[in-house]
Amino acid sequence: CHYKDEEIKKNKSLNPVERYRIRRKHPPPRTVSTGEKTVYNILESSIERLFRVFAINKYPDQQQKQMLVKETCLSMDQINNWFKNKRQRLKRNLPITKLK
């Protein structure tokens, strides 16, 4: 696109040095991402189950997590991330008290 603009502006084809200068002036994007975030929707029933387990135990063991994988049809990574994120959000929202 930038090549065409310069060719029209100069009314001639570009030589390799001019093309190089245009590439340096207008580098390609670092990523080919569309910029849209990926949305992961977890079923409401799965979230309810995760909340029930979290209310009892904020740090479930591997056996409990395996049970959740089977019950919720989520991956182990999703289960681990959900608990980690939930603990972080809970910690962030707790009021800060100063010890004296």
Contact 72, 57 (CB under 8 A): no
Residue that wins the pLDDT comparison between 78 and 10: 78
List, for residues 2-37, the tens digit of each pLDDT value: 888 888 888 889 999 999 998 899 888 787 777 777
Q: Write down the pTM of the prediction.
A: 0.57
| pLDDT tens for each residue of 35-45 | 777 777 889 99
Taking the C-alpha atoms of residue 65 and residue 71, their distance in angstroms, rounded to an integer, is 10
Domains and CATH numbers, the chain: 1-35 (no CATH), 36-99 (1.10.10.60)
Burial class (CB in 10 A: 0-12, 13-18, 19+), 61: exposed
Task: Output the CA torsion 57→84→43→55 (10° steps).
Answer: 20
Q: Distances in Å between the alpha carbon of 63 and those of 15, 46, 60?
A: 66, 17, 8
What is d(CA 72, CA 41) in angstroms, rounded to the nearest whole number? 12
